[in-house]
Structure 1
Amino acid sequence: MLQPKLIKVEPIDSLKLRLYYETGEVKLFDVTPYATGSWYGQLKDEDYFRTVQMLPGGIGIEWPEGQDIAPHELYENSVIVKKTA
């Protein structure tokens, strides 16, 4: 399944991301299961976690050191917070 384009990513408390999609959906994604090991473990640092950036064209997200999460994982493994028609 193709997921809609991401239009905004917002880091919030407890290693969670609020994701805004072109469809009007707002979803919540928990990064906690990904924040393991030495490389992805950097995401446990709250200041570093908040440096998340959206990739050009809304195709995904990444952090300054190159950590990323696949766009389909973001969409499929997040919980809908708000859906607008």
Structure 2
Amino acid sequence: MSYPKVKLVKALDNYQLIVRFDNNQTKQYDVSPLLKKAMFSPLKNLALFKAVKVENGGYAVVWNEDIDISEYELWQHGQPIP
């Protein structure tokens, strides 16, 4: 099964991401539970968290070469925004 690709991402102050997909649906994804994991702990730095970008091709959102979240995870676990 194929999943929509990420088109736009915006980071909010409360460790939430607003993600717009290429099918024009928008979802809100809560990153805060991931901050307990070592890989994601640098994102506790709000300046780094807000530096999120869409990976080329829309397959993930990325912060640096070590931290990313796939389009599958964002699509499956994000909450729809009407």
**C-alpha contact (below 8 Å) 1:61/1:69 kept by paired residues:** yes
Aligned length: 82
User: Which of these two proteins has the greater Rg computed from alpha carbons?
Assistant: 1
**C-alpha contact (below 8 Å) 2:60/2:71 kept by paired residues:** yes
Q: Which residue of 1 aligns with 2:63?
A: 63
Percent identity (aligned): 27
Following superposition, which runs of at least 4 residues in structure 1 exceed 2 angstroms of deviation? none
* Structure 2 portions without partners, runs of 5+: none
Q: Match of 2:73, as an amino acid?
A: E
Map Cα deviations across residues 11-66 of structure 1 (whole Å, 9 max, x no partner).
11210000001111110000011112443111111111001111001111111252
* Structure 1 portions without partners, runs of 5+: none
TM-score (norm 2): 0.89
Map 1:24-35 onto structure 2 (within 5 A): 24-35=24-35
TM-score (norm 1): 0.87
